[in-house]
Structure 1
Amino acid sequence: MNGPDLGPDELAAEHEALLSFMYLSPVGIVRSDLAGNVDMMNPMAAQLLMPLAQGGELANIFETLAPVAPELRRLVAEFTRERGPVCENRRLYVNPARHHPAVLSCSIIRIGAGFLMTVLTDISRQVAAERQVRQTESWLAGIYTSVHDFAFFTLDAQERVETWHPSIERLTGFQADDIVGRPLDIFYAPGEACPGRLAEHVALARDDGWHIEECWCATRSGERFWGQILVSVLHEDGDAPSGYSVVIRDASQRKVTSDNLERLLTTDHLTGASNRAHFFQVAEAEFTRARRHRRPLSLVMLDADHFKRINDTAGHTAGDEVLQQIVREAKRTLRAADLIGRLGGEEFALLLPATTRQEAAAIAERLRAAIEQLPIETGGQVLHATVSLGVAALDESEAELDDLLAAADRALYEAKRAGRNCVRVEDVVKSEQGATESTKGDGEARPPSPSAGEAQ
């Protein structure tokens, strides 16, 4: 509060200090009237609110937050005191976008007869940590209630099995001579040990102290079971881990229930591919892992050729069968760690972790050839479909996931331009001037793509 005897210079200095505090504050601060009309907002608040802004407008705090917290205007209207907190640390779940928070904490304080102060904080990491704690508690509770369904042992500093315990034989059938001195992925089922997977699991455990991985495991006799593998770090003096403790749990029964629910939430009901939302959620996670561990990552865009013609001539049922067969063939061609998602209509995307540009191009060509030769029986007739595919891969530049998607999309466009039923690869190279030059898979320069009208 300003004292009654402060002179103009002192008032100006105090006002300047208040403005500096607002603009340098690590939390978002918004001042508005009771109707929500904003008259002051610091940069952090603008940054946190921008994902919710309609057309970039942040003029009214209630309208901006309406998609995630429509009740705020009512809470303010029902608050009868002249001063005090209207709400405190209310969690707002924002639809996550790249570089933006997923969860905000919102507090609204009435600071006078006609003003509100809204304080916003990004608590995404805190919420993620809480979720991880709940997962751990649930996981440990499962161990306590299913003591016959887990095995525990240790790894040495080189990440190889160091000790053996009878619980290992009970769960997996492995004897000490089978596993001591071997890497942890000896428990993985065939097809699960993709390049870099085990190293990433251990790296995440080092970063956070522990990490849980879920995958198909196999017993000594080859029987598969769905396993949860907890790796936690053991420390001696110094920063380097002295070894790791490991718990493997058979979670096959839980997986049956969770798979049914996950299938409903993440799968395109027509084709069996991942739906768009789930595909991009997985893509974001894989992109982060690839960047963090400097691992290759490729993406392939796939489009059914002349699909409208198939629908118009053979009917929509035939069109549906074509899409379903494309997905079935893709699943037969891809590895367990790969993912196919339906982005919309006849357009699909393939996510290929730990896959180089050349490997992705070979996979795309193998899939293209398989679909071309596939007889599709529907309605008493046999159809043949073809697809066009565009390939892009992470390089050493500071590209983002959106850049990878855009490059694969441009490659798909080039495949269609080239007559369809082919594969094209896009390699984006940023020049010193910041311009983007595209090259074909063989490194030969090509001119910029024409407009959409020219392509038709």
Structure 2
Amino acid sequence: MTPEALLDLFLLSPVGLVGIDEVGRVEVANLAARRLLTPFTRTGSLDELFDALGAVAPDLSARVRGFGGPRGVVVDNLQLLAPGQQQGVFLSIVKVAAGRLVAVVTDAAELATAQGVIARLQQRLHAIEGAVREYAIYTLDTAGYIDSWSVAAERVHQWPESAIIGQSMSTLLPPDQVGLAHVDDTLSLAARNGWCQEEGHRQRQDGTTFWASTVVTALRDAAGETIGFSVVSHDASERRKLEERLRDDASSTTDYLTGVSARRAFFDVAQSEVARARRYGQPLAMLLVDPDRFRTLVDESGEAFGNEWLRAIAWVCRQESRTTDVVGRVGGEAFAVLLPSTELSGGLVLAERIRERMQRHVFGGEFQMVRCTLCVGVAEVSEGITSVDGLLTAAGTALDRARQAGMNLVVGYDV
């Protein structure tokens, strides 16, 4: 490259370049450097760099004097913001020879705006954490060690930030949950699927436990690689106590194992809803939910696991459904969800949410390695389907088609 081309490159470069001596006197500066650095100067002159940047980087001169090498990077991407302005730059200083340095200045015009947005988001997050009493929010690194801990997490888990940062997530698990293995399995599932959900006991610093519903979400970089995890854990102790009380005191209208409507009670409500839908011309859909390979997995893992799986299906269906929907256990391992004022398309959306949430569910204790899926058949009231039996038959047909096509599927009934 000719000297003339090198000069043009220096002058027209979009990156600011400034040649200075060891006391900061400017020997040469290109147009980009003058444009970027002028807002930092008190007089508008760029004759002396260290003096020009004294208000935002008063130690530049000392850092240059303290650099002992014959050449090398003295300052690397120092972030500067012009006082009272939205002008930001990144500054690097490189020693190229004895008494000669080059300052490299790059534009960070959006720096102040970005910092303002971050500050507002942090304020909102702190406000949310203060208002939400029963949800702990914290983050993990890729190995499962806690690297941030919110006020809400401290309130729920009763671990101070100073004691929990740097500890494994397994610290929050009771000893009988096989801590590290459980954490590794949970994070692997979240990394693979994007997120996963589980229910189980959590341990406070004093050794007491509470029942928690926990969602672990993978945090990814621009290339899609997992760089950590966010965790939201809800203290569900009161809900669990209520569910247990309901199971203990349940009448014939409630399934003793899962807490949803028993078959007869579900059919009574369904008949009323079908009649109302036909009378007023309102849509009505029904989901028929059936676990995949239920008997095989129960044979492999035991009846206790089967009961835990049925409770998990009922819980997932209730969590995803509206308060106006009715969830019932209509067979040994079959569940139905009645959706008033819902067309087939809406039923398919809900069925897909239930299917997806079930496949991400992490069981606790000895069953943590077991993964479970289900199929869902969806049908709606129509001219040809005018009764509860007709809805169940159509949803059952769709369910059979899902099973024939494979496991972990949702199919809508189509004549």
The answer, yes or no, to whether TM exceeds 0.5 is no
TM-score (norm 1): 0.36
Higher relative contact order (CA 8 A, sep 6+): 2
In the superposition, the TM-score normalised over structure 2's length comes to: 0.39
- Structure whose CA Rg is larger: 2
